[in-house]
Each structure stands twice: as C-alpha cells, then as structure tokens.
Amino acid sequence: MASDWIGCLVSIHCGPTLGVYQGEVSSVDQTSQTISLRLPFHNGVKCTVPEVTFSAMDIKDIKILEIRKSSTEVPKQNGPDSSSTLTPHGGRKDKGGGAPGNSAPLTVPNKTEPKTQEGGVSPVPHYSKRSSSCRGPNQATPKKNGLKNGGHMKNKDDECFGDGMEDVLDEDFDFEGNLALFDKAAVFSQIDSSERRGNGARSRGTPGEQTPSRYRHDENILEAKPVVYRQITVPQNGTKEYSTDSGLVVPSISFELHKRLLAAAESHGLSLERRLEMTGVCASQMALTLLGGPNRLTPKNVHQRPTVTLLCGPHVQGAQGISCGRHLANHEVEVILFLPNFVKMLEAITSELALFGKTGGKLVSNVKDLPETPVDLVINCLDSHENGFLREQPWYKAAADWANQNRAPVLSIDPPVSGQAHAVEAKWSLSLGLPLPVSEDAGRVYLCDIGIPRQVFQEVGIKYHSPFGCKFVIPLHSV
C-alpha cells in the first residue's frame, strides 16, 4: 500500500536536467501519481525548502536507501494492493525492485541496504558526515564499495577527509545557547569604566559626549605629531607658491637662485650630463603618460604608434629635449626632432645628438620638413633663460608658428620665468628641482626630481624636504 512507502529513505533520479534527490518519503498520492520527500537533498546539497513533490512523469529511477518500518512485510505486486504502487516514467529497476519494463510498477523491497547499479557503484552519493545534522537518530551512513577498471574505488569522503571523520559529532552547534552565555551589558560596562579611568574617548558616542574622529582607509590614525605642510623654505620673500596633491607647500625660486643651486650641485658631482639624463627620463615618463600610457603603448597597437615632435634650440634646454626624445624613441614612439643647423653648438647637444641618431628617430633642420597634419604631442624646448635674442631669429618664429597652428597639445620643458614672452602656448610645463615663477600661459605646472641632495639645497640657503614621495614627477597647484 501507499503507506508502506512513508518513512523510507529513497533516492530519486530525475534525469540529467533535474538531477538526483534524496530524502524521507512523506506522502504518496496514488491518484495523481506523485511522491513527496521531506528534508530533501539535491545532488548532495540540502534543499532550502522542507518538502519536494515529484511526478511519475519526471522520475527515471527510484532506489530504496533505508526502510524505517518495523514490519518486514513486503506488498505483493499481483495482489489486491497492487494499485498502491508508483510507476516511474521511462525509468528502470534494479534487481529486487520489481519486474523490468518502462511501465512496470515500483514496490518497496525487503532490504535495508542501498541498491547499486551494475559494477556495484551507487549512482549518487548518500548522506555523509558533512550532512550528519540532517540524518535521523537511527540512520546509518551507508558504505559504498565498488570496482572501477578492475580495481577498488574508495569512498569519496574517505579520499578527501581521511579516516578521522567518524569522530565528528552529529549534533548541530547551538548558536543561541552559546550567545546566551555572553553578558553584553557586563562587557560594555567594563569598557565604559576603563575608558573613564583612562580619560579616553568613548567608543559608543552618546548625546553630550565627544565622539571619536572618523578616518578614511588611506589615513594614518597613529600620528605622533601634527603634519607640517610648509617643509620647504627659501630665502626670498613674496615668491609664488604652489601646493602638491597632499597639501605640501612648494615655493618658487628666482632664476639667480636656481643657477646657484645647479652650480652647487655640479661642484658635488651632479654634472650637466647627469642632469640631462634625469631630465630626459622624467620628461619622457610624463610624455608617455600624456600619450595614453599602457592604454596606447601596447604590442597589439603597433599600427597606431604615437607621434611626438620636439622643437629644440641651441642651448641647455634644447639638450634636455633631445635627451627626452631619445628615451621616447626607445619606447617605440615616432619622434621627429627639429634642431636648426648651427656652425657652433654646445658639447652637450653634440653628444645627445649622437645618441639620438642611434634610436632611428627623425632629425630635421627646416620647419618645412615638419608634419603638416596634427601630431599627438609637441614638446617645446625652444626658449632659453639667458638668451632672449633667439626669439627674433626666423627659425624660432617659424617653429613657434608651426606649433601654434598644429593644434596638438604642447608640453614645455624648463620654461622661462614670468615676464618673458612665451611664443608657444603650452598646456603643461615641467620645472626642474624647484619651480620658477612662470606666467599663466605656461599651462599646468609639474615638477620633476633631478636628484639634487638635501645638503646641496642647504648650501644655498634653502630648507628642503622632498615633496615627491614615491614619484619623480608631481603636479603643482597654484596657491
């Protein structure tokens, strides 16, 4: 009868789509041909619903895992109670589960062990120690021993967790009972009393009491002393001041003090060649960032290599631009260097040109050879701090006009101080060491570290503490 199924632990195979369900039979409906499982498991995982009902049309196979009936009487198939059987749709039966056939009824066998397929392997894993809290008090964990390729196959739980799993307790952890052991009021009372003795800020703010400060994830809460934002002082008064992103004040210096600083650095071994190399590295790093950085310069983007034009003059600033162009060319950037022909040039320019010629970059001496279409970036190194008469030269005016008409953004390296006319309007300007008081048409000011030690700053009367942090190029904001 249908009541003989109640309480049995069964495994129902519903095909590859629905999977395998296991649980205790709670009801069997003979009329609608359905069976319900209480506390079901789906593919070895406990279901979130307390009961699941299956139709005979969805059932491919049913296996009895355990019979919890005290009676060992098995209902007959060909008797008056044969109408109480459940017919799985398209399912098959194992030995002892009824007559074979697609429409043969399935009855309760008189066995207490799970049925196995050919080869002795159970089709689905049964309740293991990981789900021991859902087993009944009298339910035993079935053992599964089978053969695979002629050899013995161990239980999956034994392979993963070893032999010590039998010692695990079957009882669930009592969270409510354990939480009841925690005396919340007594603990907070003890915290309050200790804070009053130490005159500390209360951790739980109440009306009338001081609440602790809130910190961001990137703020240091263990400050031993207040932060000093003016860590650089210069001997002049009334100079232009800037600030970094972190709030540090960076004052500007005059060109005369800037020359004294470079002369002191050179006397200690920081030669012009070393300064040119540092300036070239920092300027090229900033230019690569402006060109798009890793989003633009990738091996998959070789057909769209950025193009940079450098406008250089016959002075130290021009040598700095040539050094920057060499590093850009080494990073797969199309570099076009403009430098007019001169009978006599600085030794630094000659050595930098020799190195630039090894990179494959293009060198032009006439403005007519510059690109007619807009380039990605123009780097301006035409101006000199000491020789202002170059602005009257035809080559200078022609190069400045080309830069203003090219419609490309301009980066100016070591621009002249304010008061001197800027023939090329720049979007960014890069100062060296400490900024000079440049005019507003120099664009946004950046500062690069050229490696001058702190004691060299002190020799010229500058109290200096590095504002660069972990970077070599930082932006400056007007104060």
* CATH code of the domain in which 15 resides: 2.30.30.100
Tell me whether residue 37 is in a domain. Answer: yes
Is the residue at 371 inside a domain?
Answer: yes
pLDDT of residue 400: 93
Residue 148: predicted pLDDT: 46
State how far the Cα of 436 lies from the Cα of 274, in Å rounded to an integer: 21
Same domain, 401 and 283: yes
Calpha distance 354→358 (Å, rounded): 7
Residue 48's pLDDT is 87
DSSP element (H, E) containing 262: helix 255-267
The string of DSSP letters for 394-436 reads HHHHHHHHHHHHS---EEEESPPPTTS--SS--SEEEEESS--
Last residue of some domain: 126, 145, 164?
Answer: 145
Same structural domain, 329 and 453: yes
Under 8 Å CB-to-CB from 90, ≥6 apart: which residues?
60, 102
In a 13 Å sphere around the CA of 425, the CA atoms on its Cβ side amount to: 7
Domain assignment present for residue 221? The answer is no
Query: 323: domain CATH number?
Result: 3.40.50.10260
Show which of 124, 145, 166 is a domain's final residue: 145
359 inside domain: yes
Q: Which residue has tokens 């098995």?
A: 74
Give the range of the structural domain holding residue 36, as residue numbers without chain letter: 2-145
pLDDT at 173: 78
Q: Is residue 74 part of a domain?
A: yes
Domain boundary among 99, 116, 145: 145
How far is the CA of 111 from the CAs of 79, 119, 283, in angstroms? 20, 19, 85
Q: Are 81 and 75 in contact (CB under 8 A)?
A: yes
The span from the CA of 449 to the CA of 155, in Å, is 66
Cα–Cα dist 113/125, whole Å:
14
Q: Are residues 255 and 388 in the same domain?
A: yes
Residue 186: inside a domain: no
* pTM, two decimal places: 0.55
Residues 440, 320 share a domain: yes
**Is the same domain home to 138 and 255?**
no
What the block records as the tokens of 239 is 């100079």
pLDDT tens, the chain, 479 aa long: 677 778 888 899 898 888 899 999 988 888 888 899 988 998 888 888 889 898 888 888 888 888 865 444 444 444 444 344 454 544 444 433 433 333 334 443 443 444 444 444 344 444 333 333 444 444 444 444 444 444 445 566 566 656 555 555 566 777 887 887 788 888 888 888 877 766 555 444 444 455 556 677 777 666 667 778 899 999 976 678 999 999 999 999 999 999 999 999 999 999 999 999 999 999 999 999 999 988 888 888 777 889 999 999 999 999 999 999 999 999 999 999 999 987 678 899 999 999 999 999 999 999 999 999 999 999 999 998 887 788 889 999 999 999 999 989 999 999 888 666 678 889 999 999 999 988 888 899 999 999 999 999 999 999 999 999 999 999 999 88
Query: Looking at the domain assignment, is residue 223 inside a domain?
Result: no
Please give the pLDDT value at position 96.
39
- Domains contained in the chain, number: 2
Residue 180 domain-assigned?
no
The rounded distance, in Å, linking the Cα atoms of 218 and 67 is 63
